[in-house]
Amino acid sequence: MAEIELSLAEIESLVERVFKSNGCDDSNTEALVRTVVSAERDGCISHGLFRVPGYVASLRSRKVDGKAEPQVSKKTPALIQVDGKSGFAPLAIERGIPELASAAKLLGIGIMTIRNSHHFAALWPEVESLASQQLIGIACLNYMPVVAPFGGKAPLFGTNPIAFAWPRENNTPLVFDMATSAMAQGEVQIADRDGLSVPLGTGLDAHGNMSTNPRDILDGVLLPFGGYKGSAIALMVELLAAGATGDHFSYEAEQADNCDGGPPPGGELIIAISPEVTAGPDWSRHCEDFFTRFEAIDGTRLPGMRRHRLRDGTENRCVNDLLLERIEQLCRPVAQNDRPGLA
Amino acid sequence: MAEIELSLAEIESLVERVFKSNGCDDSNTEALVRTVVSAERDGCISHGLFRVPGYVASLRSRKVDGKAEPQVSKKTPALIQVDGKSGFAPLAIERGIPELASAAKLLGIGIMTIRNSHHFAALWPEVESLASQQLIGIACLNYMPVVAPFGGKAPLFGTNPIAFAWPRENNTPLVFDMATSAMAQGEVQIADRDGLSVPLGTGLDAHGNMSTNPRDILDGVLLPFGGYKGSAIALMVELLAAGATGDHFSYEAEQADNCDGGPPPGGELIIAISPEVTAGPDWSRHCEDFFTRFEAIDGTRLPGMRRHRLRDGTENRCVNDLLLERIEQLCRPVAQNDRPGLA
């Protein structure tokens, strides 16, 4: 494997080109560009350009509408519902977040359900967006069934990420965004691509045996992080993302998917809380004292700091050469009979 | 160690006697009886009679007011705030839950902060109470600093439990209530009392080395479950329970405590969500299909089922003989100068 260096501006231009040439309208293209470029900027390569071939496959198979106009409705003063209209999630999220933030600032808490959408990105953009408005953000997503509940050997959960952001007045927010599987599926795929092994406990092979071979695990099943407790968190995420939105559980997403390699249809749940409203005006000082104590402990770091440090780097980003070549190919016209989104 | 068998009625009568003879009024006694007896009923011995000496110590030291009358206010239509008035948490929770449930049923989501209260029990009673009203419940609590953040060797987090309940129309709810430490502190204390060892990974001794000796770990520090991911969940719980309520972080609770062996002052955060409102009228059927798939996987079980099976048992419960003797002693009058709650 070889890597090629690109500036963020070059990455942005490439991503814009690939989505526009595959039938996305301006609004969807811009939301996708923000999503992919911010992942590369922050060093989250498993959610950056790595995902572009999958996005394009879903546009070309017509599973996803690159011109979708998400519909936002306020079902109660605290409940924002977004219908993604079969588009990719980034635009649906961007359209809904301002309403969710308003609700949380007024009531102390708000909840947003996203349905009928295709999520293929990290979750931290949505919770960071809330934190930038001095709100706590919690987001839950489920996905294709690839993780076995604790004690079992058959997949039921998605890798079911949960993201959490805590606002800080004069600092980057505290943010984590983690798969509730022992390892994110994208990371296992990248380990497979790069010929690396993964830690024992990541998953089981097709015969139900522990393995360190990422290929065998991708043919088998991932395990939840943290034993039965992590499995309980994965279950909570599955129920919140699917049960509380009314959208697909992971096994339903698999049934509904066309297996084009892009994201299946599904839902997402986002909760926003205003600490100013729930805890009062002293909340920030109170929490900063806690963060100071946290950071004084040797060997620890607050989640999200590494990503925010990478974000500030002005140097070029390294991109896998084969991936880059593939994306360049995807910018070129395809045969008329599978040309996407021009119907 | 020897055990003595008691019926639930005998346990109830003993618990009522011990709280009344230590200065609790009827309302607080009844709430505490429900809390302790339901723990023994469900086999959660680390939150049942085991806690009674600590409760009594805090009444006798006058840290906790056994006659506290919690004050419930509705700060916004979605935000219920309960001031525990320096009492034990069970009555504060019971007084606030009906308001929280009403808010969630109306708006889809509600949030309750409890402040100025002393929590010494399991968290499942509060989330189960929401689930019995067809609501999703999430509760977060922090405590004394006894858990090191991932990578560190100094305590900062409490054992920081998170509880989650999912309602089921014709079944017991799905419920988990778990410490975000590798093992709950009460369980480590019981292992110490009973001369048992604990699994490697439970905690570090006072020198920062891994240990399986519960006594050494109680003198050292507990570890979060599930490595850095579990540590992130523990951090989220700490921030929600203290930062979002405005009550003590674990290190502040320690500073504010009088070390009488009972619970320090602190807060709790509870979120309630109505799946009927957020997901629509088909939510229950949709989720039951998921549960059916879950239960079909060999080797797994839904969280909370074991506890609900124990609950249904009509047989006597086994109680440690020394503990029982101690509680009987605590029912007797004490010297005038440290008689509790009679000021």
Q: Are B204 and B333 in contact (CB under 8 A)?
A: no
Is A75 within 8 Å of B108 when comparing Cβ atoms? yes
Q: Which residue does chain A place closest to B81, by CA atoms?
A: A278
Q: Is A229's CB within 8 Å of B232's CB?
A: no
For chain B, say whether A53 makes contact (Cβ under 8 Å). Answer: no
Neighbour-count burial of B339, counting CB atoms closer than 10 A to its CB (0-12 exposed, 13-18 middle, 19+ buried):
middle
What's the token pair of residue A93?
């999220």
Q: Are B151 and A109 a contacting pair at CB < 8 A?
A: no
Q: How near does any CA of chain B get to the CA of A28, in Å?
A: 26
pLDDT digits (tens, 9 = 90+) for A43-73: 988 889 999 999 999 999 999 999 999 999 9
Residue B45: the pLDDT is 85
Q: What angle do CA B7, B47, B211 make, to 5 degrees?
A: 125
pLDDT, position A1: 67
pLDDT of B340 strictly over 70:
no
Tokens of A109: 């808490």
In angstroms, rounded to a whole number, what is the distance separating the alpha carbons of residues A164 and A271? 10
Residues of chain A with Cβ-Cβ distance to B227 below 8 Å are 225-226
Contact B299 A151 (CB under 8 A): yes
Q: How far is A22 from chain B (nearest CA, A)?
A: 33
B293 touches chain A (CB under 8 A): yes
A77 at interface of B, judged by CB pairs closer than 8 A: yes
Q: How far apart, in whole angstroms, are the C-alpha atoms of residue B109 and residue A71? A: 21
**Looking at CA atoms only, how far is residue A281 from chain B in angstroms?**
9
A201 interface with B at CB cutoff 8 Å? no
Q: What confidence tens digit (pLDDT) does each residue in A10-25 have?
A: 999 999 999 999 999 9
What is the least distance, in Å, from the CA of B93 to any CA of chain A?
Answer: 17
Which residues in chain A touch residue B236, judged by CB atoms under 8 angstroms apart? 164, 176
pLDDT in tens, B173-230: 999 999 999 998 888 998 999 999 999 999 999 999 999 999 999 999 999 999 999 9
**pLDDT higher than threshold 60 for residue A126:** yes
In the predicted model, is pLDDT for residue B337 greater than 80? no
Q: Which residues of A touch B178 (CB under 8 A)?
A: 229, 232
Residue A46's pLDDT is what? 83
A99 assigned to active site: no
Cβ distance B245 to A279 less than 8 Å, yes or no, reads yes
Mean pLDDT of B14-28: 98
Tell me, yes or no, if B187 is annotated catalytic: yes
Q: Is the pLDDT of residue A80 over 90?
A: yes
Question: Chain A residue closest to B103 (CA)?
Answer: A78
Those of residues 85-114 in A touching chain B at CB distance below 8 A are 106-111, 113
Q: What is the dihedral of CA A249, A255, A261, A264, to 10 degrees?
A: -40
Q: Do A113 and B278 touch (CB under 8 A)?
A: yes
- Which of B 111-170 lie inside 8 A of A, CB atoms? 111, 113, 136, 148-154, 156, 164, 166
**Confidence category of residue B308, pLDDT binned at 50, 70, 90:** confident
- Contacting A residues, span 235-254, partner chain B, CB-CB under 8 Å: 235-236, 238-240, 242-246, 249, 251
Q: Which of A73, A74, A75, A76 to mutate to probe the B interface, most B CBs <10 Å?
A: A76
Question: Which residues, in sequence order, are bridge partners of residue A317?
Answer: A6
pLDDT band with cut points at 50, 70 and 90 for residue B17: very high
User: What mean pLDDT is predicted for residues B80-88?
Assistant: 98
Query: In this prediction, what percent of chain A has a pLDDT beyond 70?
Result: 97
CB-CB contact of A92 with A129 (8 Å): no
Give me the pLDDT at residue B336, please.
Answer: 53
Which chain B residue lies closest to A110 (C-alpha atoms)? B109
Give the pair of three-digit tokens for residue A25: 């309208």
Contacts of B282 in chain A (CB under 8 A): 246
At A343, is the pLDDT very low, low, confident or very high (cuts 50, 70, 90)? very low
- Asked whether B223 and B203 are in contact (CB, 8 A), the reply is yes
A76 → closest Cβ in B108, B136, B279 = B108
Whether residue A256 has pLDDT greater than 50: yes
Q: In the annotation, is A252 catalytic?
A: no
What is the DSSP annotation of B232-287? HHHHHHHIIIIITTTS--HHHHHHH---SSSPPPEEEEEEEE-HHHHH-TTHHHHH
- Separation between Cα atoms, residue B323 and residue B53, nearest integer Å: 9
Separation CA B267–CA B249 (nearest Å):
9
Query: What's the gap in Å between the CA of B276 and the closest CA on chain A?
Result: 8
The closest CB to that of A246, out of B176, B240, B280, belongs to B280
Mutation target among B270, B300, B307 for the A interface, most CBs of A within 10 A = B300
- The residue annotated as part of the active site, out of A13, A21, A46, A132, is A46
Which DSSP string do the residues of B202-222 spell out, in sequence order? SEE-TTS-EE--HHHHHHSEE
pLDDT of residue A335: 59
Name which of B149, B271, B287 is nearest A243 (Cβ-Cβ).
B287
* Segment B244-270 mean pLDDT: 96
| Per-residue pLDDT at A334 | 74
Interface check A285 vs B, CB under 8 A: no
Instruction: Look at residue B338 and tell me whether its pLDDT is greater than 70.
Output: no
pTM over 0.90: yes
Residue A130 pLDDT: 98
| pLDDT at residue B213 in the model | 97
Q: Find, among B157, B191, B173, the residue nearest to B45 by Cα.
A: B191
* Distance of residue B340 Cα from the nearest chain A Cα, in angstroms: 32
**In this predicted structure, what is the pLDDT of residue B335?**
59
